Amino acid sequence: MENFYGFFLDNLLIIYLLAFTVLLGFEIIAKVPTVLHTPLMSGSNAISGVVVIGAILLVRLTDPTDYLTLSLGFGGIILGMINAAGGFVVTDRMLEMFKKKKK
Partner 1 sequence: MLLTFIIEIFFLLGSIGFIWGLRLMSSPDTARKGNFYAGVGMTLAIIAALIMPLEGNVPNNYLWIFAALIVGTIIGYYSAIKVAMTSMPQMVSVFNGLGGACAVVLGLADVLHYYDGTKVVDTLGFLTVLLTLFIGGVAFTGSIFAYAKLEDLVDDKKVTLPKHSVINMIMLAGLIGLGAYILMQGEAIGMEAAIIFLVISLIYGVSFVAPIGGADMPVVISLLNSLSGLSGAAAGILFDSQFMVVGGILVGASGTILTVMMCNAMNRSIWNVLIGGFGGTSAVGATATGGTVKEISLNDAAIQLYYSQSVIIVPGYGLAVAQAQKICKEIDDQLSANGVEVKYAIHPVAGRMPGHMNVLLAEADVPYPKLLDLDEANSALSSADVAVIVGANDVVNPAAENDPGSPIYGMPVLKVWNAKSVIVLKRSMRSGYAGIENPLFFHDRTKMLFGDAKDVLGKLNSEIKSL
Based on the shown chain and the rule CB under 8 A, indicate whether residue 2 belongs to the binding site for partner 1.
no
> How far apart are the C-alpha atoms of 51 and 75, rounded to whole Å?
12
Binding pattern for the stretch 31-70 against partner 1, x by CB under 8 A and - elsewhere? xxxxxxxxxxxxxxxxxxxxxxxxxxxxxxxxxx---xxx
Residues in 69-88 that interact with partner 1 by CB under 8 A: 69-70, 72-88
Q: Which of 90, 89, 86, 56 is nearest to 73 (CA)?
A: 56
- Give dist(CA 58, CA 93) in Å, integer: 32
Q: Is 15 in the site for partner 1 (CB under 8 A)?
A: no
